[in-house]
Structure 1
Amino acid sequence: MPRPRSLTHAQLASAALAVIDRDGLAGLSMRAVAKELGMSTMALYRYVDDRDQLEQLVVELVLGEVDTEPPGPEVPWRGRVEIMVGRLRDSVGAHPEIVPLTLTHRHRSPAVLRWSEVVLTILADAGLRGGQQVIALRGLLGYVIGAVQLEHLGSLSAPGTVAISALPPDRFPQLSATAQRARRIGADQEFSGGLDMLLRGMAEMLADGAGLPPDGLPDR
């Protein structure tokens, strides 16, 4: 395949993402991406310095598709957070193998920074302050990343859950019963249910927030 005279970052990211989607994150290498583009490995170094830069381009390609337009103020704050979290889940969930890259490169990704700014603004409008915002944002990011990994790499219908459901109930009564119930819970129900629990906790913090110290965290 003839090589384009000049490759854009979008073309490089698309080729790297194609490798990841097909071969997993472990399959990503300069050689594999060069082969995907129909060029030599040395020629690829004309465009990127190393695999780390390729990873950054992939993260931005995927997360750049996240709609960061803030939901309207007519939507309650919890609903706005749910919308933003759902958008992130949809984009990352379409390419679950990149989940580890979102952790590694989130601080350098303009897309992640835009998403985080919108979510923090929603949380601030709701009344969360200081350390509350820090914990809430990290909690939401951690939840989305963990939920996507569980959904695609360890779903409730995965062999591991099936095996746990067959554990002897006399030794593992709660675990085996929970695994059996888990097989009847869909991915969307699992995600929305977990998010609801997280947001309920934030709402309770707001309800109990009178007299919080300046950092926004209760005294212990």
Structure 2
Amino acid sequence: MPRPRSLTPGRISAAALTVIDRDGLAGLSMRTVAKELGLSTMALYRYVHDREELERLVVELVLGAVDIEPPSSDASWRERVEVMVRRLRDTVGAHPSVVPLTLTHRHRSPGVLRWSETVLAILTEAGFEGEQRVIALRCLLGYVIGAIQLEHLGPLSGEGTVAVAALPQDEFPYMAETARHARNVSADQEFLGGLAVLLRGLRA
């Protein structure tokens, strides 16, 4: 039986992303996606082999939306890299539960490969070579992935900061004081401040 034309990879990936956004990554399965599409689980297997293929479709749906156009060459290399990193954060941060999948499937995703190619071109123009360039790219990817998870799973505005601020000062004087300051730091301040420190360190 031919496949219905209406059930495209785009529809399947959109349904899978809906499941992840609603139920978390643990909720993703062939059954839940089939239900989201109004199909039987066996019917979905005619289009997708397994959960791993579903994951790849979701990763490309999200990362394929990242703007990979090189920023203006009139800006400094740090400013250009910041633009690229902010684009990745804004796009992936809209679907934080997908972050672990971006690590697992990054080498198969045209979206993240194109993003990385643009960043590597900027770093190369700035004089980064060989192992230094490898480390620079990994640091940037590690920073944005970790920052997204911190922002959504352990935000400074959350209960964790309040709990740390209330710790006994005789045991945790620095933690308690730092947490009190942390309550005034916005998510953008945290992200961009950390990125600025990282970019200065890369050149050093």
TM-superposition CA deviations, 1:184-216 (whole Å, max 9, x none):
100000000000000001222xxxxxxxxxxxx
Give the alignment of 1:30-45 within 5 angstroms.
Answer: 30-45=30-45
Structural RMSD (CA): 1.1
Q: 1:6 offset after TM fit, Å?
A: 4.2
Which residue is equivalent to 2:53? 53
Q: 1:72 offset after TM fit, Å?
A: 1.6
Compute the TM-score of the two structures, normalised by the length of structure 1. 0.90
Which residue is equivalent to 2:101? 101
Structure 1 residue matching 2:39: 3-state secondary structure: coil
Give the alignment of 1:106-145 within 5 angstroms.
Answer: 106-145=106-145
Cα distance in 2 for partners of 1:79, 1:21 equals: 31
Which residue is equivalent to 1:208? none
Gaps of 5+ in 1: 205-220
Cα distance in 1 for partners of 2:72, 2:161 equals: 40
Q: Which amino acid aligns with 1:21?
A: D
Cα distance in 2 for partners of 1:117, 1:188 equals: 25
Gaps of 5+ in 2: none
Identical aligned residues as a percent: 71
Structure 2 residue matching 1:18: 3-state secondary structure: helix
Cα distance in 1 for partners of 2:81, 2:157 equals: 28
Cα distance in 2 for partners of 1:136, 1:75 equals: 19
Compute the TM-score of the two structures, normalised by the length of structure 2. 0.97
Moved >3 Å (runs of 4+): 3-6
Cα distance in 2 for partners of 1:5, 1:115 equals: 31
Structure 1 residue matching 2:155: 3-state secondary structure: coil
Give the alignment of 1:69-218 within 5 angstroms.
Answer: 69-204=69-204
Aligned length: 202
Cα distance in 1 for partners of 2:6, 2:67 equals: 29
Which residue is equivalent to 1:217? none
Q: Which amino acid aligns with 2:114?
A: R
Q: 1:162 offset after TM fit, Å?
A: 1.0
Cα distance in 2 for partners of 1:75, 1:36 equals: 45
Cα distance in 2 for partners of 1:74, 1:29 equals: 46
Which residue is equivalent to 1:14? 14
User: In structure 2, do the counterparts of structure 1 residues 30 and 77 end up closer, same or farther at CA, with 3 Å as the change threshold?
Assistant: same
